[in-house]
Structures are given as structure tokens and as C-alpha cells.
Amino acid sequence: MDNKMFCFQCQEAAKGIGCTIKGVCGKDDTVAGLQDLLIHTLKEISLIVRKGQLATADLTEVSHQVVNSLFMTITNANFDADAIDAQIRKMVQLREDLKNTNPGIETGETASWQSGDRASMLETAKLVGVLATDHEDVRSLRELVIYGLKGMAAYTEHAFNLGKENPAIYEFMYEALSSVLDDSLTADQLVALVLKTGEYGVQAMALLDEANTSAYGNPEITEVNIGVRNRPAILISGHDLRDMEQLLEQTEGTGVDVYTHSEMLPANYYPAFKKYEHFVGNYGNAWWKQVTEFKSFNGPILFTTNCIVPPREEAIRERIFTTGSAGYPGCRHIVPDADDRKDFSEVIEMAKQCPPPQEIETGSIVGGFAHAQVFALADKVVDAVKTGAIRKFFVMAGCDGRMKSREYYTEFAEKLPKDTVILTAGCAKYRYNKLPLGDIGGIPRVLDAGQCNDSYSLALIALKLKEIFELSDVNDLPVAFNIAWYEQKAVIVLLALLFLGFKNIHLGPTLPAFLSPNVTNVLVNTFGIAGIGEVDDDIKLFLN
């Protein structure tokens, strides 16, 4: 029987192979098909740009829409078929405009499909999805590039929302998107493209770091309240700090509090947001626990990006608002006005009618250990390493997820010897950031740099230590990598780390389904990539 769909872009791919009937994430075959078609249309646009040698400087709107389209297809970001359908039509129009204003660009049969009704679009989608590439290694390398681009696009869009852009990133996106249509590329050339994707991933993460810190200051050590107050409130999820800022501004003086959720937790670490008295702290845990936590939160929830778990209950759906690349059918979507301002008044008015959040925990957690803060503590950290008080650092950045196998990370953190420190970023932290792991001479044993893009901070910290200890190879540092992945932002983080020269990274809880055996071998042999095993065995292995 033919597959209804095929998607293997995230760690939850069904049976470790791919989702063929409906996504484990909740994505149905219509959304999956439309996402395939949207990605294909981006490749066509990129082919026109490359073949026509069009200047990126003249393509501002196209580039922004390419980035937004890629972001819309990230796992758990957008489940709204109508929104993706509209985006495809927008991209086809931009493609046709490019052809009309630059006649004579030779693209053969490619870049010629025309949008029609939904059914005909889904028929076209069947011809251009992941499985359209027969050769499994070529398919694997192409998709590795595409998933890296999706993660890169997410970071690029957040930076753009804060007014920071790097045209070289757009240029590379066009190069990469068009290259995956090129049947003449050898496996070696595709491997080189994968590494180049990592190189631009570093640039995207650096750009976002600059955007966030120049707008809101450097993250600083912060005790974040995880309890609640007795006032109505809004929960903000996702990653976009510009949305966070606008929400805080608009809720000020309204009697409505604001709490962060999941990946928005690190917003608490930025100096610029601390002035808001009604910014209370963080509510809940990693994204997948939202099914129960949104119920007890009681107030409206604003999704600025992924990760949405399809809300089954109408009562919850009614309280969910989306903006940016996020979307869910039946949930209200907020778009910016001509001045790029988002009006959250509807969310605020709803909050006023809702009871305050129900307490699910009390106390606080500590974070804010991004590069500037850790550099400020460098003497203390270096001393602790020199005296042997800190034996090893474990980078445990990445994503959390609902699979039981992820309990490994809690057990791993608990069993690590007390003279080790965990460096984290992304929502993987929720597996151990509330454990009483203590500190080493005042240095907490879990140092949270921030969101998954702040893995960039962890790389900078490692590179700084390499400099301080006068090492020629960053892999000689007492740093081990045990990273958890879930979706495509973790892919670009991994490729960025590989580009920066980090080796022997362990990836779990399972290796990506989109890596063919041969591509896995390349990663194992060239970079020492490995999976995970039993906690006790792995700890022994890492400490040796």
C-alpha cells in the first residue's frame, strides 16, 4: 500500500523509520504533503536565483519568505493546512515574479508547477517529497542539509525580528536549496555541503546571539520563580524575544501577569525584562507536558514558535493563540501591523476573564550562564578545573521529548560524579534542572545558557577554555558531549558544533532516522559521533 505521507525529520519518526500514516507529532497527511510542496517550491525559487545569478540584495522579500517558509515546516510549529497552503501560493507567486522580471533563466522542467486546488497540489506533492530521491545515501545527505536549513531559518527569523540580518546566510540558503535538486553532485560534494550548512549555522547562531544581547542585554545569573501569584496571567511559549518584549509592554499596568513556558524560560535571564514587576517567572516544564500544564494554567497561551502539541480539548484550543511561524487550526493567529507591532489586546482581555494559574510547584531554579556571564566567572571556573574541584564538564544541551527513553538523561545527571558540571541549553534541561544537584564552590552543577540557539554560548565557552588552557585542540578539554535531540534546530546545532571542530558527540535517545547506514558511518568515522547506551556504562566511558 502506498504511504499516505512520509516524514522522518524528527526523533519521534514512527518505528525509527518515518511517519507514513499520520505524524506521531499529530501532523496529518495533508499538512505533510503541503509542507513537502512548500519546501520543493523553495528549491525551485533557489534554482532561479542561482541560475540567474540574481543578487541577494535585490531579493529581500523573497529571502524573508523563504526563511519563514522553512520555519513553518519545523516539527510542531504549524499544523494549519490553510496557512501552509497560503504560504505555498505566496511562494509560487514570488517564483513567477522572479521569472517574469528575469526572463531567459534556464531551469528546464523544474520551477514550472502551478498551484491549483488543494487536491491537485497534494498530487504534485506526492512527486516531490522526501522519497522522490531514490538513492538512500543521497536522500539522507539532502535531508540532512534541508533539516539544518530549517533550524538555521528559525534562528535567522528571530534575529531578523530584532532587526539583525546577514545576507550571506540568505545566499547560502539559496545555494543549498538549489544544490539538493542537483543530481550531478557526488556524495563527497554533498558531505561538503552538509559541513558548509554547519558553517552558516554558526553564523546564524552568532547573529541571533548578537540580536538578543544587543536588544536585551547579556543574560545574567537569575533565580527564576516557578511558583504562581494570585492574578490572572498569560503564558508565553516558543523562542521569540521580540514577541516577549511586546507582550510585557502591553500587559504592563493591566493587572495581568506573564509567565514563560518551556523554551521561553531563558527570557527571565535578560536584564531588559527584569524591570517588569508583572513578569512572574516560569510555569511548567518542557513542551510535551503542555497537555496537562495548560489545563492548570487557566489563562491564555501565546505560542511564538514551536513546540505545539495538538490540543484535543476545545476549551484548551480556545485559549491558545499563535503568531509568527506557528499555527494551529481553530486557534487565533496574531499578525503584525504595518509598523511591525503585534496587538495582543485580545489575549490580554481573555486573561482578565480567566482564573489565576493553579500552583503546580513552588521554589525557584537558577540560570543565565551564557557566554558573557561565564566569562565573568572565568577565574573561578579555571581555578576549579586546575585544583581538580571540577573534573569534567558535560554538555547536555538539546531538546526534551515525551519518549520514556529520555528518562536516561535524568538518571545520567543524577549519577554523574559530584565533581562534574553540566552545561545545558534548550529544553533538554527540564530533565534535570529541578534536581538537587548542588554546586562546586558556589558554581551550580547545572549551568543553563538559555534556549537551544544558546548552544552557541556553550561552544564559545569551550573555545575560551581552550584558549585559557593553551590547548591546540578543543577536543583535549575536559568536556564531553551528551546531547539530546528532537527536531531540526538540534540538527543545525549539531552541524554547527561539527563545523567548529567538536568531536565524539553522543546523540540520543536514538540516532536520526534520516541518517542512512552509510551516512552514519561517515559521521562516526570522521567525527566520532555515537549514540547512547546504559547510563552507568556511558558515564564510565565519558570519564575515561
User: Binding of ligand SF4 at residue 456 (CB under 6 A)?
Assistant: no
User: Binding of ligand SF4 at residue 187 (CB under 6 A)?
Assistant: no
Determine contact, residues 33/13, Cβ cutoff 8 Å.
no
Q: How far apart are CA 458 and CA 450, in angstroms?
A: 10
Q: Toward ligand SF4, which CB reaches closer, 211 or 474?
A: 211
Among 49, 121, 234, 427, binds ligand SF4 (CB under 6 A): 427
Q: Toward ligand SF4, which CB reaches closer, 79 or 321?
A: 79
Return the beta strands (E) in 182-312 as ranges. Answer: 222-225, 233-237, 257-260, 279-282, 301-303
User: Binding of ligand SF4 at residue 158 (CB under 6 A)?
Assistant: no
Q: Toward ligand SF4, which CB reaches closer, 437 or 494?
A: 494
Residue from 18, 20, 42, 10 nearest 126 by CA: 20
Determine contact, residues 538/412, Cβ cutoff 8 Å.
yes
The CB-of-425 to ligand SF4 minimum distance in angstroms stands at 8
Q: Which stretch binds ligand SF4 (CB under 6 A): 140-148, 289-297, 356-364, 484-492?
A: 484-492
Among 20, 25, 258, 509, binds ligand SF4 (CB under 6 A): 25
Among 4, 24, 56, 227, binds ligand SF4 (CB under 6 A): 24
User: Binding of ligand SF4 at residue 489 (CB under 6 A)?
Assistant: yes
Site string for ligand SF4, 1-20 (x = CB under 6 A): ------xxxx-xx-----x-
Q: Toward ligand SF4, which CB reaches closer, 33 or 232?
A: 33
User: Binding of ligand SF4 at residue 98 (CB under 6 A)?
Assistant: no
Residue from 450, 458, 446 nearest 266 by CA: 450
The CB-of-113 to ligand SF4 minimum distance in angstroms stands at 23
User: Binding of ligand SF4 at residue 486 (CB under 6 A)?
Assistant: yes
Among 27, 99, 142, 406, binds ligand SF4 (CB under 6 A): 27
Q: Toward ligand SF4, which CB reaches closer, 13 or 226?
A: 13
Among 41, 225, 306, 420, binds ligand SF4 (CB under 6 A): 306
Among 63, 65, 75, 124, binds ligand SF4 (CB under 6 A): 75
**According to CB under 6 A, which residues from 260 to 279 bind ligand SF4?**
262-263
- Tell me the CA distances in angstroms from 45 to 146, 182, 341, 427, one per residue in order: 15, 14, 29, 34
Q: Which stretch binds ligand SF4 (CB under 6 A): 21-29, 182-190, 192-200, 246-254?
A: 21-29
User: Binding of ligand SF4 at residue 241 (CB under 6 A)?
Assistant: no
Burial class (CB in 10 A: 0-12, 13-18, 19+), 388: exposed
Determine contact, residues 60/48, Cβ cutoff 8 Å.
no
Q: How far apart are CA 286 and CA 26, in angstroms?
A: 17
Among 426, 444, 450, 509, binds ligand SF4 (CB under 6 A): 426
User: Binding of ligand SF4 at residue 493 (CB under 6 A)?
Assistant: no
**According to CB under 6 A, which residues from 372 to 411 bind ligand SF4?**
399-400
The 3-state DSSP class for residue 113 equals: coil
Determine contact, residues 526/198, Cβ cutoff 8 Å.
no
The CB-of-514 to ligand SF4 minimum distance in angstroms stands at 9
Q: How far apart are CA 400 and CA 430, in angstroms?
A: 7
Q: Toward ligand SF4, which CB reaches closer, 42 or 493?
A: 493
The CB-of-3 to ligand SF4 minimum distance in angstroms stands at 11
Q: 307 preceded by cis ω (within 30°)?
A: yes
> End-to-end CA distance of the chain, in Å?
49
H helix runs in 102-166, sequence order = 118-128, 136-161
DSSP 461-493: HHHHHHHHTT-S-GGGSSEEEEEE--SHHHHHH
Q: Toward ligand SF4, which CB reaches closer, 50 or 489?
A: 489
CB atoms within 10 A of CB 272: 16
The 3-state DSSP class for residue 205 equals: helix
Determine contact, residues 384/445, Cβ cutoff 8 Å.
no
Determine contact, residues 207/155, Cβ cutoff 8 Å.
yes
The CB-of-455 to ligand SF4 minimum distance in angstroms stands at 9
User: Binding of ligand SF4 at residue 23 (CB under 6 A)?
Assistant: yes
Q: Toward ligand SF4, which CB reaches closer, 7 or 258?
A: 7
Amino acid in the structure at residue 378: A
User: Binding of ligand SF4 at residue 487 (CB under 6 A)?
Assistant: yes
User: Binding of ligand SF4 at residue 201 (CB under 6 A)?
Assistant: no
What element of type H or E holds 443?
strand 443-444
Total of residues contacting ligand SF4 (CB under 6 A): 26
Helix 81-101 with 60-72: angle, nearest 10 deg: 150
Q: Which residue is nearest to ligand SF4 (CB)?
A: 23
The CB-of-155 to ligand SF4 minimum distance in angstroms stands at 10
Q: Which residues bind ligand SF4 (CB under 6 A)?
A: 7-10, 12-13, 19, 23-25, 27, 75, 262-263, 287, 306-307, 399-400, 426-427, 452, 486-487, 489-490
